[in-house]
Amino acid sequence: MGTSQSESAFRRALEVLVGGVNSPVRAFAAVGGTPRFIASGAGSRITDVDGNEYVDYVCGYGPGILGHAHPAVVEAVAKAAGRGFCFGAPTEAETELAERIVAAFESVEKVRFVSSGTEAVMSAIRLARGVTGRDKVVKFIGGYHGHADAMLAAAGSGATTLGVPSSPGVPAAVAADTALLGYNDLAGVREAFRGIGDDVAAVVVEPVAGNMGVVGPAEGFLAGLRELCDAHGALLVFDEVITGFRLAPGGAQELFGVRADLTTLGKIIGGGLPVGAFGGPAEIMDELAPAGGVYQAGTLSGNPIAMAAGLATLKAMDAEGFHGRLEERSSALAEGLRQSAGDAGLAERTCCQRVGSMMTCFFAPGPVSDYAAATASDTAAHAAFFHAMLAGGVNLAPSQFEAMFVSAAHGADDVAGTVSAARAAFVEAAKIMDSRPAGR
């Protein structure tokens, strides 16, 4: 497998782009080696600039639930582009996409579109603060909600991967208003709320954590947060940037039957174009400008081409049995990965966790239920696994602390090929883990 074109593309990029990339986790810092520069993608596959083809489980870090370059989305984007790119005036596509979100999420009556997940969460927090008149926000250790100041404390995803979970440059005063609690530790949240509960504007949570690797909510955790927020007048913000439309049309809220006050969305609702959104009951959302006083705005918000991509994606997901098929495929993949790990003698030392079409194989004994358990993973073993998978034609995120995303384009042949590559890759990882002194 040649990589010379990617290597020279990376050298060139390093001259003018910080770290050669525009989002840190792409840089391969945690796994070593050169990031593959991608030339194209179609369905479940991507092709790099050296002509290597991979089955792709990054899927753009979540937007690609239909796979790459789905014909209906390509057509919708091309048509929208032909009508003009950006007007700074409302278009009907914004209303249509908002109507779909409102129909899918029981807790959402009104929506505001933005251009990224970061913006969605940042704006939802401002709204929650404006509505409650309080400053404190609660986030969970290892949760990632974009890179707004208030959320860059003990953050997962690339921040954890690169060892900067709490970034320099975040004002101490801002950090002081972010309370950090343990994911799945409801007793800890209860205890903290006894002290600060009445000062909390919002509890922001990934209902299924996807940025410390995939960690599902413990039984009763989300419902417990709901109760505490109700008891103390705080708003519960479900960050469904990953899970929205992926786990069910109505996201994790539908799957777990817990209502959020505000919901943040991104990724799938833009079909791979830059879109984020937040929404909730009209009573809360109408506090936003121009209806209310909480200011939020954007030149590219509700961009017509991005709206067209999102709409075409959601329409394609209306297909009968869409989520059922995704679940079957994902379950088969997770089972195959577990078996491959077992065959390599790693059954007790790895754990493949899955919720719907998002999964992570941790190089740590399971179950992994929080950040401490996730970060106890053997990242060197993960790096060996990652590189062996890449060599076997399977593209994973270059970090232990990310999810694998299965799309509707992944077929039984993709799953079989991936499991076969994993058999060899777990053997490589086992060599690293077996070389550790006993007891580690």
Q: What angle do CA 94, 95, 96 make, to 5 degrees?
A: 90
Instruction: For residue 140, state whether it binds ligand PMP (rule: CB under 6 A).
Output: no
The stretch near ligand PMP (CB under 6 A) out of 124-132, 140-148, 365-373, 379-387 is 140-148
Spot the catalytic one: 177, 239, 378, 414: 239
Report the C-alpha gap between 359 and 215 in whole angstroms.
Answer: 9
The least distance separating ligand PMP from the CB of residue 118, rounded to whole angstroms, comes to 3
CB 67 within 8 A of CB 410: yes
Report the C-alpha gap between 228 and 232 in whole angstroms.
Answer: 6
Instruction: For residue 61, state whether it binds ligand PMP (rule: CB under 6 A).
Output: yes
Instruction: For residue 241, state whether it binds ligand PMP (rule: CB under 6 A).
Output: yes
Q: Please list every residue from 190 through 219 that binds ligand PMP, using CB under 6 A.
A: 206, 210-211
Q: What angle do CA 75, 408, 394 make, to 5 degrees?
A: 105
Comparing CB distances to ligand PMP, the nearer of 406 and 425 is: 406
The least distance separating ligand PMP from the CB of residue 307, rounded to whole angstroms, comes to 16
The least distance separating ligand PMP from the CB of residue 310, rounded to whole angstroms, comes to 13
Tokens of 253: 């809220």
Give the residue, chosen from 116, 340, 350, 399, that forms a contact with ligand PMP under the rule CB under 6 A. 116
Instruction: For residue 353, state whether it binds ligand PMP (rule: CB under 6 A).
Output: no
Instruction: For residue 302, state whether it binds ligand PMP (rule: CB under 6 A).
Output: no
Give the residue, chosen from 10, 105, 113, 144, that forms a contact with ligand PMP under the rule CB under 6 A. 144
Instruction: For residue 356, state whether it binds ligand PMP (rule: CB under 6 A).
Output: no
Tokens of 220: 């009763």
Report the C-alpha gap between 121 and 119 in whole angstroms.
Answer: 6
Comparing CB distances to ligand PMP, the nearer of 252 and 334 is: 252
- In the residue annotation, 144 being an active-site residue is answered as yes
Task: Tell me which residue has tokens 């077929």.
Answer: 411
With a CB cutoff of 8 Å and minimum separation 6, the contacts of 274 are 115, 116, 300, 303, 306
Report the C-alpha gap between 105 and 96 in whole angstroms.
Answer: 14
Task: Tell me which residue has tokens 């208003």.
Answer: 177
Give the residue, chosen from 30, 73, 121, 359, that forms a contact with ligand PMP under the rule CB under 6 A. 121
The least distance separating ligand PMP from the CB of residue 147, rounded to whole angstroms, comes to 7
Q: What is the dihedral of CA 165, 192, 198, 151, to 10 degrees?
A: 10
Tokens of 280: 């909730």
Residues taking part in catalysis: 144, 239, 267
The residues of the shown chain that bind ligand PMP, judged by CB under 6 A, are 61, 116-118, 121, 144-146, 157, 206, 210-211, 239, 241-242, 266, 276
